[in-house]
């Protein structure tokens, strides 16, 4: 028979008691305060500090997780679960993007501007017919719908086609485009980007010198909403749910699957076969493939379409969005400053702009038996 000393039993009991306390501990001993001194004064839960001066927050107790919201625009706890702006809070709403190109611009017989941006909406009172939407499974039907909508003048240009002539060759000097969309809230706004909407052939076909089809870059495409409290919400093009329509996939790229050599039209199938999407009709790429959209950075509103060389056939490709909820927005985000593996007796943050902010600490203790959260808020007045 095994025997145990009283000392061993006592130690075991102490360990069990300690573990039980850990499994059930709340946030009773947790608090947040600010250390005064220098250019920082404290009056209760109100802190006054000069801009650029660090604020030292004291974390008392031993919480498991801490998320910090500075109170600055985009980092306010009040909006941590807001996915849609209230229309009564809206001052202005604009579709915005920058556009520039790579490749020379030509005029006359070698005119090579092949980019357009359109929109449409539904408004029965105005007799405005909205875009009916894509099937996203029947390419022949979808491409015909988009093309006919264009030929019948139902797509509304965001800017005149000629405004995209001779675009800058870098993002710094890019053409800045804005469209007021506040009056289109709830009207099924659809945005479309067309690469060669008129399906123009390379001018060399008509006897002109061989001419390149430019590469076009879109930067920071978004809907920007300005609110009454002077805050701004941004919905980038990644939320527009663009669908690509590759009009020339059936004769420009299908041969690449067969790894054929360059054909009589000058299409080098083998050079792009590695980078082609599985769905040639609707797919996008993450490389440079002429006539196919690269959407790898669309979450930030940036995308491009690779240009076509001067001796190759020009391509036609569209991007068409789903109906856009103009009021949609990203929730404000906090910064995770502590987890279970860290010790954080203090946290330092610096405000660089004058204003009044509500610094918020979301503090959580959690384990398989217990989960408790609490907010600690401190008003920070930042002065010159």
Instruction: Kindly report the CATH number assigned to the domain that includes residue 49.
Output: 2.60.40.10
Residues forming a β-bridge with 194 = 116, 318
Is the pLDDT reported for residue 3 higher than 60?
A: no
Q: Where are the beta strands (DSSP E) in 149-302?
A: 156-157, 175-180, 190-195, 215-227, 232-236, 243-246, 293-294
Is the pLDDT reported for residue 7 higher than 50?
A: no
State how far the Cα of 168 lies from the Cα of 185, in Å rounded to an integer.
Answer: 32
Query: Do 184 and 43 fall within a single domain?
Result: no
**Does residue 5 belong to any structural domain of this protein?**
no
Nearest to residue 236, comparing CAs of 299, 286, 157? 299
What pLDDT score was predicted for residue 73? 82
**Does residue 308 belong to any structural domain of this protein?**
yes
| Residue 269 banded pLDDT, cuts 50, 70, 90 | low
Mean pLDDT value across residues 91-114: 96
Identify the DSSP state of 235: E
The radius of gyration of the chain's CA atoms, rounded to the nearest angstrom, is 29
- Whole-prediction pTM value? 0.75
Query: Do 123 and 258 fall within a single domain?
Result: yes
- Residues spanned by the domain of 354: 28-78+343-383
Is the pLDDT reported for residue 1 higher than 50?
A: no
Mean pLDDT value across residues 187-199: 98
| Count of domains observed in the chain | 2
Query: Do 221 and 364 fall within a single domain?
Result: no
Mean pLDDT value across residues 97-126: 95
**Does residue 135 belong to any structural domain of this protein?**
yes
Task: Write the CB contacts of 125 (distance below 8 Å, at least 6 apart in sequence).
Answer: none
**Does residue 54 belong to any structural domain of this protein?**
yes
Query: Do 52 and 133 fall within a single domain?
Result: no
What pLDDT score was predicted for residue 276? 85
**Does residue 306 belong to any structural domain of this protein?**
yes
**Does residue 123 belong to any structural domain of this protein?**
yes
Would you say 151 and 76 are in contact if contact means Cβ atoms under 8 Å apart?
no
Count of residues for the chain?
384
Mean pLDDT value across residues 56-74: 91
Query: Do 37 and 109 fall within a single domain?
Result: no
Mean pLDDT value across residues 5-20: 37
| Residue 295 banded pLDDT, cuts 50, 70, 90 | very high
**Does residue 290 belong to any structural domain of this protein?**
yes
């Amino acid at each position: 028979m095994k025997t145990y000393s009283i000392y061993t039993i006592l130690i075991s009991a102490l360990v069990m008691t300690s573990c039980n306390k850990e499994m059930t501990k709340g946030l009773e001993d947790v608090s947040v305060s600010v250390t005064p001194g220098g250019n920082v004064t404290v009056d209760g839960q109100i802190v006054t500090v000069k801009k650029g001066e660090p604020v030292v927050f004291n974390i008392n107790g031993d919480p498991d997780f801490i998320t910090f919201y500075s109170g600055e625009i985009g980092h306010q706890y009040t909006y941590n679960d807001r996915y849609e702006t209230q229309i009564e809070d809206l001052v202005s709403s604009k579709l915005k993007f920058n556009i520039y190109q790579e490749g020379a611009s030509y005029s006359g017989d070698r005119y090579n501007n092949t980019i357009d941006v359109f929109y449409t909406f539904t408004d029965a009172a105005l007799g405005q017919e909205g875009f009916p939407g894509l099937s996203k499974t029947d390419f022949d039907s979808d491409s015909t719908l988009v093309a006919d909508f264009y030929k019948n003048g139902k797509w509304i240009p965001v800017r005149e086609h000629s405004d995209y002539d001779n675009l800058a060759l870098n993002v710094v000097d890019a053409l800045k485009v804005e469209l007021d969309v506040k009056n289109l809230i709830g009207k099924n706004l659809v945005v479309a980007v067309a690469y060669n909407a008129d399906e123009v052939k390379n001018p060399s076909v008509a006897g002109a010198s061989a001419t390149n089809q430019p590469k076009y870059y879109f930067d920071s495409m978004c809907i920007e909403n300005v609110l009454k409290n002077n805050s701004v919400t941004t919905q980038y093009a990644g939320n527009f749910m663009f669908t690509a329509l590759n009009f020339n996939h059936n004769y420009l790229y299908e041969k690449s699957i067969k790894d054929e050599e360059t054909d009589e039209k000058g299409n080098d199938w083998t050079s792009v076969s590695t980078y082609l999407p599985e769905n040639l009709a609707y797919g996008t790429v993450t490389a440079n493939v002429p006539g196919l959209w690269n959407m790898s950075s669309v979450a930030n509103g940036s995308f491009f379409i690779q240009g076509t060389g001067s001796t190759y056939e020009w391509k036609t490709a569209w991007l068409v969005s789903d109906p856009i909820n103009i009021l949609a927005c990203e929730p404000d985000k906090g910064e995770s400053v502590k987890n279970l593996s860290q010790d954080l007796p203090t946290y330092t943050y610096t405000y660089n702009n004058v204003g009044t902010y509500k610094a918020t600490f979301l503090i959580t203790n959690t384990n398989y038996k217990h989960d408790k959260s609490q907010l600690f808020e401190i008003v920070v007045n930042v002065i010159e």
